[in-house]
Structure 1
Amino acid sequence: MKNAEEIRLIRKAGAIVAACHKEIARRIRPGVTTAEIDAFVEGFMQQHGARPAQKGYRGYRYATCASVNDVFCHGFPTEQPLRAGDMVTIDMVAEKDGWMADSAWTYAVGTPSPEAARLMAGAKQALYAGIAQAAPGRRLGDIGHAVQAAAEQAGLTVVESFVGHGIGRQLHESPQVMHSGRAGTGKRLRSGMVLTIEPILTLGLPYVNVDADGWTARSFDGKWSAQYEHTVAITDQGPVILT
């Protein structure tokens, strides 16, 4: 559980993440590389008195995860220029004054195809359906069920291998937040919890291949995916998005 002051400190880290994502949205275009975006993110955080908490985590070498098209998550930034029609998910964690906030966002590079636009819209809708359940007295299963129901309504599939988590002084705290499940099951939510809700939705099958680098998680069938993530505080007034 986090008290009001601790949630305020997480919100400060979250404000940096949110501002950084807004700047990324202005920079994503054909010809830009994810390595350039990664360098921008690291510099942006440093300018705002934060550090990229992913860098160095279990040996990870970058400030962001940059996952293009058929990469579900944990993609390495590269010097490969983005092409018109691509989709890229930028995932980042800022640590400021010892407290962390985490958010991933999927961006279209240029104008997305109708299929990609449907995927992005469905994934975003599923995120907010899950957030709406993040209130005291609800259960973790209510979040997962809401995400899964929204995904299925959009004709999309949840990649169940990857979950949300508690966050605060550590990047990954308990509990785990599944993005599927049965309503009314799982740990009861209480005011003061801070969680990430971060469903990955795909147009194809939810099975994962991990590249030889040990990080890059790619779709089994080559189908594309999208991910949207917020850090959310559970309060007596309902869910509060901190990123």
Structure 2
Amino acid sequence: MSIVTTSTPSSSGSNEETSAVAERTARRCAETALFMRDHVLSLVSHDLRSPLNAIHSWAYVLDRKIDTNDATAQRALEGIRNGVEQQVKLLESIVDTTRAETKALALKRAPFALRPLLDETIGDVRDALAVRRGVALELNSPLAAQQMDGDRERLAAALWLLVAFAVEASASGATVTLDADVDASTFRATVAWQATSAALTDAALPHVLENFARAQATQPREASRISWVLGLCKRIAEAHDGAFEQGEWADGQPTTLKLRVPLAGA
């Protein structure tokens, strides 16, 4: 297995290379914010519809129990119904309409080599954040000439976010490891590091992700839900018929982010 450790910036990097890294980083940050917004709106839409459906059902039960001659009770019931209808229309006209832009994620599939993508990811995160944070990056992978059929740009964004988030959540002197390999049909990438909540929210440290996104990631998660900032990873994995998994978070303990994507589209 080949191991590439990157902990210092390349001294031979040209101005053009530095500019290209800065441009890709800015684009990745914007994409992360866009997909986080979409992820949050999806949660809002789902979580609001459940109680609204319950209110609507109980209004139907009350309608059968309330005296039709009781004008006050009938007005109260009508108010409940109107309130539910207004909330549903609000979800449809604002939340669902806003999500429509990214709900159906278009992919531009083409064959591409995996190893250059991994090297580019490590290099970009190293130059944009890891060196300034004093965090070492390691790439452990036997991949050489292996290829996959997928949307390279989308997958590059997902891998970048995996590594960048881990660096954001690491203390100075820590090491973030990206393990990547393939089996007969799947590309697998796992980022491992030691979770440090304070590193995510320390304003004195360099950051590339939004304050709000980093702060929310330190909060307890419900069931199997992921941190909002990682919505991009989930959407891109699922668009490729793959899966994304965020490991349990315990401050000071090892944790992981895992991405699995079929090597070829269905």
Tell me the TM-score normalized by structure 2: 0.24
Is the strand fraction higher in 1 or 2? 1
Is the helix fraction higher in 1 or 2? 2
Answer with 1 or 2: which has the greater Rg: 2
Tell me the TM-score normalized by structure 1: 0.26
